[in-house]
Amino acid sequence: MRGLPHEAGGRALRRGRAFDLPGIGTIYAPNITPDSETGIGRYTDAQFDSAVRRGVGPGWRHLYPVMPYASYVKMTEEDVRAIRAYLMSLRPVHAPAPANQVRFPYNIRVAMIGWNLLYRPSGPLPDDPGRTAAWNRGRYLVEAAGHCGECHTPRTMLQALSMTKSYAGAMIDGWLAYNISSDVDSGIGAWSDTQLAAYLSTGHADGRGTAVGPMADVVSHSLRFLTPEDVAAMVTYLRSLPARRSDETIGVVSPETLAQLAPIHSNGERLFAGACTGCHLTDGHGRQVDFAALWGARSLGETDGRNLVRTMVEGGTLQTAHGAMVMPAFGPEYRNQDLADIANYAISHFGNREGHVTARDVAAARGGVSP
């Protein structure tokens, strides 16, 4: 899921976040409050359903698949109607969406007719009678409503989700959406059911780290409100995804091992002790809260530190049942090389790998450009 496209946080769904699509342009998620001019106030149930599940708005306006209608088409008509009923109960806000900036030939919206013929599934997935009710419910939540594959599955040249690499992980907005297939080395095959359920419902699992970036938004605004039964159903289905091996393998170093590591007296270690140990203890535990526990975190096993550097530069917020858990952003008081040193220390200490983060990577993350 791409964070929260219509901003259901403080500014309540009125104006969209921007999606930067390399080589294509910038697309803005529109107002979906009940405002009659700039929102969905005048949509009928049929028009709303068509936009959400067919990707065709009123006046035969073809939506771009940034709106994940290719996943939502698998939702039931009743659920989409229920979503509209909820949205119509919100306070209308008058706020036109900024104009999309889309390059040729992607700016030809009718081209989406052809894309839809090729890639949009025809409708809801019928329940598989050979599987349990929990598996079928989990499939519905993962494939349709949750649209997990929209970020976690790599895209083909034509921006369709790859069938052969389903859930094998993909880059999106400069973040690596991890491999969530059942592969033991590079997916979630080694996670326990308890860890998966904890991660989905709270954003943190002991020994697996804490959600940051777009996934923190997904947990903050969506997944943590699921019932325990639905979370368990998602776990059941995710477990059944075919294993897809990818380059990013997972390594877990236990707190017992971390506590025994001798100091290495590097610049990164020294800076980590001053700037990070207020919350992240070097034995991998969180000082105040478990949400700050770093042992087993995937971002610290990635040797190029993409997600780690983004998190250091942008900070992060995860909404929880105990309030917001906040990681402050590193500001200009730290040089690019300092942040690279901290990242490489953290990767070597917590991930037992040699980090390859450079000052250039940090500069690119600070500039908001992909390196």
Partner 1 sequence: MLTLQVNGTAHQVDVPDDMPLLWVLRDVLGLPGTKFGCGIGQCGACTVHVDGKAVRACSLPVSLVGRRPVTTIEGLAEDEVAAEVTKAWLEIDVVQCGYCQPGQIMAAIALLKGNLHPSDDEIDQAMSGNICRCGTYRRIRAAIRNVAGAV
For partner 1, the closer of residues 71 and 282 by Cβ is 282
For partner 1, the closer of residues 110 and 321 by Cβ is 321
C-alpha span between 68 and 52 (Å, rounded)? 8
Residue 184 CB, shortest distance to partner 1, in Å, is 33
Binding-residue pattern over the window 281 to 320 for partner 1, x denoting contact by CB under 8 A:
-x----xxx-------------------------------
CA distances in angstroms from 345 to 103, 193, 203, listed in the order given = 41, 31, 24
Strands in the chain per DSSP E: 18-21, 25-28, 56-57, 61-62, 101-102, 170-172, 175-177, 204-205, 209-210, 316-320, 323-327
Residue 273 CB, shortest distance to partner 1, in Å, is 4
User: Quick one: tokens of 266?
Assistant: 């590097």
Q: Is 9 in the site for partner 1 (CB under 8 A)?
A: no
For partner 1, the closer of residues 144 and 346 by Cβ is 346
Nearby residues of 199 by Cβ (< 8 Å), 6 or more positions away: 191, 205, 208, 211
Tell me 187's DSSP state.
S
Dump the DSSP string for 238-277.
Answer: HHTSPP---S-------HHHHHHPPP---HHHHHHHHHTT
Q: Is 157 in the site for partner 1 (CB under 8 A)?
A: no
β partners of residue 286: 280
Among 66, 142, 172, 279, binds partner 1 (CB under 8 A): 279
β partners of residue 210: 204
Question: Cβ distance 28 to 17 under 8 Å?
Answer: yes
Among 323, 331, 332, 333, binds partner 1 (CB under 8 A): 323
Residue 12 CB, shortest distance to partner 1, in Å, is 21
C-alpha span between 344 and 268 (Å, rounded)? 7
For partner 1, the closer of residues 123 and 278 by Cβ is 278
Angle, CA of 14, 20 and 25, to the nearest 5°: 105
How many of the chain's residues bind partner 1 (CB under 8 A)? 18
Q: Is 82 in the site for partner 1 (CB under 8 A)?
A: no
CA 78 from chain center: how many Å? Answer: 26
CA 318 from chain center: how many Å? Answer: 12
Among 117, 118, 322, 354, binds partner 1 (CB under 8 A): 322
- 209 phi/psi in degrees, rounded to 5: 85, -165
Among 59, 118, 324, 354, binds partner 1 (CB under 8 A): 324
Residue 323 CB, shortest distance to partner 1, in Å, is 2
H/E segment holding residue 329: none
Q: Is 321 in the site for partner 1 (CB under 8 A)?
A: yes
Q: Is 358 in the site for partner 1 (CB under 8 A)?
A: no
Q: Is 263 in the site for partner 1 (CB under 8 A)?
A: yes
The one segment of 7-15, 72-80, 237-245, 277-285 that binds partner 1 by CB under 8 A = 277-285
Among 82, 108, 326, 369, binds partner 1 (CB under 8 A): 326
Q: Is 275 in the site for partner 1 (CB under 8 A)?
A: yes
For partner 1, the closer of residues 123 and 274 by Cβ is 274
Residue 294 CB, shortest distance to partner 1, in Å, is 14
Q: Which residues bind partner 1 (CB under 8 A)?
A: 263, 270, 273-275, 277-279, 282, 287-289, 321-324, 326, 328
